[in-house]
Amino acid sequence: MKVAVLMGSASDKAKMAPASEMLAQLGVDAVEEVMSAHRTPEVVAGFAGRAREMGYGVIICGAGMAAHLAGAVAARTTLPVIGVPLSGSALSGVDALYATVQMPRGFPVATVAIDGAANAALLAAEILAVHDPAVAERLAAYRAGFAQR
C-alpha cells in the first residue's frame, strides 16, 4: 500500500518534504499531491472518495491556518488520516493545530505536532506495518538506530 502526502498549497512543499523523505527512507511508496479544501473542494472530495481503490492505505494532510484539508478528507474516506498542522500564520501554526485536532465525533484525524511531517510519516508507516512485516522490520531498524546515538 502507498501513502498519500497531501498539502493545501504548493508553498507547503518544503514543510511537508520530511514526510516524503521519511517514507522513502522506510521503503514506503508515497505520492505527493497539492489540493485545497477551499480552492479545489471537488478535487479533495474526489481524491478522498477514491483513495482506497487507488491503493492508498493512509493519507497525510498538511495545511496551515484554517487547516480544513485533513477534516475534509476524513469526511470522505474511512482510511486513516493524519493531520500535520503547518506554521506560517500570525499564530505560528497554533490555529492550524486547533483546527486539525478538533474534528467532530465520527471523523477522527490523528494529529502530530506543528510542522511534524516526519512523525506523520512514521505514524503512517506504523499503521501500514500492522499488516506489512517488511515495513515493520524497516521501522524496527530505524528505531534501533536511536539506541546507537
pLDDT tens sequence across 84-132: 999 998 899 999 999 999 999 999 999 999 999 999 999 999 999 999 9
Domain count, the chain: 1
Confidence tier at 148 by pLDDT (50, 70, 90): confident
Q: Which domain holds residue 110?
A: 2-147
**Cα angle for residues 7, 2, 55 (degrees, 5° grid):** 105
- Is the predicted pLDDT of residue 146 greater than 90, yes or no? no
pTM: 0.96
CATH number at residue 110: 3.40.50.1970
Distance in angstroms (rounded) separating the CA atoms of residues 137 and 114: 28
